[in-house]
Every structure is written in structure tokens, then in C-alpha cells.
Structure 1
Amino acid sequence: MGGQDQLFHVIHKVPQGHSPYVKAKHAQLVEKDPEAAIVLFWRAINAGDRVESALKDMAVVMKQLNRCEEAIEAIKSFRGRCSKQAQESLDNVLIDLYKKCGRADEQIELLKRKLRLIYQGEIFNGKRTKTARSHGKKFQVSVQQEISRLLGNLGWVYMQKSNYLTAEVVYRKAQMIDRDANKACNLGLCLIKQGRYDDARNVLDEILKRKVPGSEDIRARNRAAELLMEIRAFEPPSSEIAEILGLDDDFVNELEPLMNEWAPVRSKRLPIFEEISSFRDQLAC
């Protein structure tokens, strides 16, 4: 019987025992009762039973039930009970919840904060890689990949705010660090939104010619082709392109002198930040 019980927990990915957290996971994963799971996760948090896991898991279930605002408040209220090591993953959950709620300004501030923490050596501890987890699987991520990923997310939020020039600057920074086809497509879209069709064609053509990492993905090439078709179909006369698009000057100014302004020089400073050079003057040419 003990062997069958252990197999059950392995199959359903449910921890063993009878604690509030275990009961909550059973309600979530076995009984498929999210409302009951939330109640039990609350009990686990109040009882001090695996608070970090209970808080993150409860937020995930709340998001599934479109109770994102509640999840945000729960994380803000109880993250103080969690360890320093858990704060980064809680930030990741918060970013996802802010996105779901359309709270762009909070997303931007949190993404900037995570970038500053990387520079200060708080996340990678001065190392070039760290272990990350996604969908239950562990993998190694480099500091370049993480910075580029965060900048890509930041660029997308600026896109949603119609701050296309700021988004362009952020995407170009991301591509300087770790190029990929998805961010290249988004950069192309930024340029289209600004009416800079020739620049957009150059970026998108590189994807179709497979000159950008990740452009072997058929989805990336299809998206690039669709954006190029959009340019051909809707390109207006150049005389109509006169609108000045939103620009978050404060953050652009932060990006440019990144090494000096985001944090004091520390022994854990990552060399990648020394490699980021300003290209804003090039955009003005």
C-alpha cells in the first residue's frame, strides 16, 4: 500500500503528508477544485506551512480564476514572510499578474528593478550563469540571456503604452546583448509604428534570410513575412508621417550611461554591462 501511495504522489506531483499545503496541492491537482485550493493555501500561509510555495501556488490558481488583483495584494502582503532567495521568483509571478491586469507602469518599474539587481550582483552573485526553472524543469540561463529577456519584456510593455521610440531603444539594447528572431520582429513592429518602413524592412529581411538566431523557427519567419506584407499594404506617403511618438526620456537616459547611474561600482559588477555601448546617436543620423 505504501508503494502505491508513493506512486500516486509521483504521478500527480503532489507532496506527501497531511499538512495544509499538501491538502491544498491535492485540491488543486487531484480534485481539480481551485476554490477549495485557494482556501487551503490561505490556511497554509497562516499556519506558516511552506509559505513561499503556498503563496506562489495560490497566486497561480487565482490568476486562472481571473482574481489577479487579489493575487497581487496577497503577494505584497505576505512576501515579507518569505526568504530572500524566494523574492526573485515572487517578482516573476508579480510581473505576470501585472501583465494580466494591464498594469503597465508597475510592470515597467519591476522590470527595471530586476535589471538593476542583476547589475548589482544580487541575482547572479557575480556569476555568468544561474539555474532557472520553468514548467517544473531546471535549466541554465546566462546573464546575457536573462538581461536580454527582461529588456525584451520591457520593450513589449512600452509597445503597449504606444511609447514606440522607447521600445525601439530597449529592443536594440536587448539585441546587442543576445539577438533572437522574436525580439527582431518586435523591433520591426516598433519601426513600422514610427513610419520607418525602410528600417523595418532591413530588420525583418534578416529574419527571412536566417541571419538572426532563432530565425529557423517557422513561426518567426511567418511573423516577419506578415509584417512585411503589412508594410506593403498600408505604407502611407512619406508626407503623412509626422506624428511624434511617446518617448520615456528618463529611462532612455538611464539606459545610455547604464554602468554609472544604475548602481555604484561593485566587485560583483557583471562584465556584460561594460559591453553595452550607446547607439542613440546612430538613430538620429
Structure 2
Amino acid sequence: MRIDFLGLEAFVAIAERGSFNRAAAHLNLSQTALSHRMKKLEDDLGVRLLTRTTRQVTLTPAGLELLPRAQAVMADLTSSFVALRERGREQLERIAIGCLPTIAVAYLPVVLDAFRKAHPRVGVRVYDNSATEIAEHVQAGRAEFGLTIVAANRWDLEIRPLMKEPFVLVCPDRHPLARKVTVNWQALEGEPLVRIAPQTGNRVLIDDALGSRRENLDWRYEVQHVATAVGMARAGIGLTIVPRLALGVVDTAGIVALPLRNPGVTRTLGIVSKRGIPPSPPAATLLDLIVSALRSAGAASDS
């Protein structure tokens, strides 16, 4: 037997308020609709629950028997709905995104400040990981989207390219190459170089662009982070090659960043998201702010 919860709701509202008129107003129904619900409930049960006169509504013996049980059922349902709604609100009040560490450090603080003004009660979890890890977070549903290096297409990810970012040579301002306007890769032969670990994704891009010419370079040091590589370049230990926007997260005193030629190496930054799943409204706001900030940063770097 199917339970007529709408009928029970109508019955409890009438019984507690002693009036069809007051019950209809409470449930935001017309009196006709309320009467239909009660008739259907009584027809399903095969008994009368209410006696209605021009002046009052009274409960029949069957109605008196049913009322406390119906009240308990409706109270339990209400409690369950409230708990589920609160849980849903808690989930909506925290979103998660992925972002490359260099971009996260340089640009997310300003973006999150603007986001906080638009959504003051929404928290943000940032997976500031490598490009590979960001793709995994998005695929697994842990992050709604990721700002990362656009790599090979994945069938279950939507990819939205935003901008191409060049790699630059970082050297001490006292180095002979610091006086150049641009630097050819051939000029780096014989120079000790600091490279960044391959899991960042940047190293693969450089190796692919150079091809066999990478074997002519002296990759003497390897580090895990851009800030470490730049610090070593500042100290004169070795030169390093980093994405241009990454310089926004380091102290640039005492160093020079120079464009590289023959070949020029770039990486494409973009947004990855789960195919067919739109972002939640707060995540969509955050995404727009990130895209705007990143494009402004790219335009400023080009000027």
C-alpha cells in the first residue's frame, strides 16, 4: 500500500488548526485542493477522519486514533528533510578547485578576496598540485575544475585553453647574458643550468621543444620548485628556465628574465573540468574571476 503523505499532511494541518481555512493558508493551498486531499485520504483508508459543519471541524474516533501517529510521522519526515537540507547547504558552502602552485601563489589571493565579497559564506579548497595531479582531482570529482597546463586531450575532461605563456631564461643581473635582449639556446651551451623536476610538466615541454639539442646543455642541478631554481640563479650557481608568470611568486631582485629564441618554448594554460558537468554557481563565479585575472596578467606581461 502506498502511503498518502500529502493526505496525511492535510489531515494533520486541519486537525491542529481546527479549520479548513487556516489549514489551507498554512499549506499555501486553496480550500478546494485541501478538500480533495482529505477526500482522497479518507477514500484510500475507507473511513471518515473528520466531521465538518458550518462552524467547526471535529475528529471522528478513527481520526482521533490516527492523529498522534500521523503527527509523529510528519515530525520525523520534517526532521529528516531539515537534516538533509542542512547537509546540502554545507556541501554547497565549500567548493574545491585545482591550480598550479605558481599561479595559486601569485594570483589566487587577490581572486579569492574578490570571491569572498561575492560569496562570503563559501569556503574554497585549493589543490595546488602538479598538472597530472590536478587532472586526477578533476576526474575523480574532488575538484570542480582545474587551472593547469593543457596537455593531451582526455576523453572525460573538457579543456578550455586560455593563454600561451612563454618560458624565459633567468640569470643574475651581473651575468654577461643579462645585457642581451633575447637569448638563443645555443648561447647556453657550456653554462651550468638548473632544471625543475619532471612531475611539474614544464620539463617535458622544454625537452620536446629542444629535441636532441637538449643533450648539448649542461643540466647540472635539479630542484623541485621554481623559487629554489631562481634562488640558485640569483646566487650564480646556474641559470634556469621557468614559465614567465612563475616570476610573480619569487623575489626578482638581482635577476634578469630574458626571452628565449630558436626555439621559443611556451606552455598553454587553461581550464579543465569534468565533461558534461557544469560548475556550481559559486564555482562559476570563481572561475570567471580566475580567467579575468590570468588574462590581465598575460596582457600586462606582453605590454
- With normalisation by structure 1, the TM-score equals 0.22
**Larger Rg belongs to:** 2
| Greater helix fraction, Structure 1 or Structure 2 | 1
- With normalisation by structure 2, the TM-score equals 0.21
| Greater strand fraction, Structure 1 or Structure 2 | 2
Structure showing greater relative contact order (alpha-carbon pairs closer than 8 Å, 6 or more residues apart): 2
